[in-house]
Amino acid sequence: MKQHIQTFSVATGGTNFKARERKSNINITCTIALILTILAPQAFAQEKTDTTEVEHYIGVIPDDAFVKSGEFTGAIKVPGTKGSFKIGGMVQVNANFDFDNQGFQQIGVPPSIPLDEDPEDEDQQFGIHTRLSQLNFDYRSPTKVGNLRIFIEFDMFGNGNTGEFTNDYTARLRHAGVELGDWRFGQYHSAFVDLFSMPEGADAESPLAAPVLRQPAIVYMRGGNHEGSHWGFGIENPAFEYSGSDEQYRSEAMPNFIGFGRLERSWGYVRLAGLFMQLRSAAEDVYTGGFNFSGRIKLPLWHDKDNFSFATQFGEGFVHYYSSFVDVGGLDGHIADNGDIEATGIFGAFATYQHWWSDRVRSTFMASVFELDSPELVNGLLYSGGERYTVNLFWSPVDVAAFGLEYNYQTLETADGTEGKGTRLDFVGRFFF
């Protein structure tokens, strides 16, 4: 009996010990909770006091002092205003290999193509440059009379290399203008130009027959943004590039007039632009111009993004609207010694097809032709026309980068039947910011 009592006492003692341990834990927990309840308000009050002291010394920071997202992609708000701005651009690296010495390495311009009669100019050449890189500033804001936009852009295609070994090319102004409501003031691509029909390419001169002139202008556009259906008109800076008598030349007394209209539907769009301009000499004034019909058509045969683009131009006297011949000069027309003016006839056309192999990989196939009816020899040659054929492959591993490989074959013909050809392989890397 005593043994049983002893065993019970030991068991009971163990139970009492565990009970006492649980009770002790409960007491500690309650004590900590009580301390926190007492001290927490003081801690918060201290934090508030510290903030008050900071505001006392530096003032209350307004909400609009912080950086906020702007009203368009990549932009930030200007504090205290309704405006947004963005600093953007592109770094572009081109590596060119010419199977025939084209003289001008950066872009494949037709006048630099070696002619058959110059076999010494058929040497191969290689070059790398970054002159097509761009930097721009874009500001936009709503106003009572419409949306305001200020856009300025530069590239590195200025006047040559200022250092033989340092490759420090000078900057060149591409765009500098203001859009306010339906009006546009400043330097942009000419309203005669249709940038949306231009295909993706590595060379700035692809395709051959594509006017890309940028010049100061005043333009009115009604009916929507640049990509929707719209119509408009404008005046642009005149620039008659003539050959012949300098003594007979007279400056233009009126601007170039442009009218344009664009129709957009679910299948794509078409656009028609007309140009009217004045050519002057001491003997006469000649009025000439031309048309540019262009568009882009959706062709979702193998991929939803597949498309066909085209453009054709015809008229007289506006060769300087094509950058392919801008360095030659004097191709718009000829002024004879007696002051008679003969404008250069122009016909140009290109067609392209872009196929998307996937959402990141695509190819473009281009064919273009350019014909000039030039009245006189220019730089010892009478350019009568040329052709260009292009195929490329582009890959965008991410949205802000694209890499491309492009093959170009082009020809040049003069009035006496002399021909030349140029073949180029061009690698390009583009990085957008």
- For residues 347-373, give the mean pLDDT: 94
Tell me what pLDDT residue 290 has.
97
Q: Concatenated DSSP letters for 81-96?
A: SS-EEEEEEEEEEEEE
Give the largest CA-CA distance in the chain. Answer: 148
8 Å CB contact between 179 and 192: no
Half-sphere exposure of 142 (CA within 13 A, CB side): 5
State whether the Cα torsion 234-235-237-239 is positive or negative.
Answer: positive
Report the residue count for the chain: 433
Domain positions in the chain are 2-60, 76-432
Transcribe 267-281 into DSSP letters.
Answer: TEEEEEEEEEEEEEB
Q: What is the DSSP string of 191-258?
A: TT--GGGPPP-SSTT-SSS----EEEEEEEEESSSTTSSEEEEEEE-----EEE-TTTB---SS-EEE
Q: What dotted CATH number matches 76-432?
A: 2.40.160.10
Residue type at 419?
Answer: E
Instruction: Return the structure tokens found at 348.
Output: 């140009």
- Bridge partners of 268, per DSSP, are 265, 297
Predicted confidence at residue 10, as pLDDT, reads 37
Contact 426, 96 (CB under 8 A): yes
| Least confident among 24-33, 264-273, 323-332 | 24-33
Number of Cβ within 10 Å of residue 428's Cβ equals: 20
In order of 135, 139, 140, the CA distances from 73 in angstroms are 16, 12, 11
Please, what is the average pLDDT of the chain? 81
pLDDT digits (tens, 9 = 90+) for 199-255: 999 987 767 778 888 999 999 999 866 778 999 999 999 987 777 777 778 888 899
Q: How far apart are CA 7 and CA 135, in angstroms?
A: 92
Helix (H, G, I), strand (E, B) or coil at 2: helix
Question: Which SS3 state, helix, strand or coil, does residue 149 take?
Answer: strand
The percent of residues in the chain predicted with pLDDT above 90, rounded, is 44
SS3 65: helix
Q: Does 57 have pLDDT greater than 80?
A: no
The one-letter amino acid code at 162 reads T
**Among candidates 97, 95, 104, 99, which has minimal Cα distance to 122?**
99
Nearest to 420 by CA among 367, 366, 389, 383: 383
> Where is average pLDDT lowest: 8-22, 57-71, 127-141?
8-22
What DSSP line would sit under 12-64, residue for residue?
Answer: HHHHHHHHHHHHHHHHHHHHHHHHHHHHHHHHHHHHHHHHHHHHHHH-PPPGG
What is the model's pTM? 0.80
| Beta-carbon-side half-sphere exposure of residue 285 (alpha carbons within 13 Å) | 7
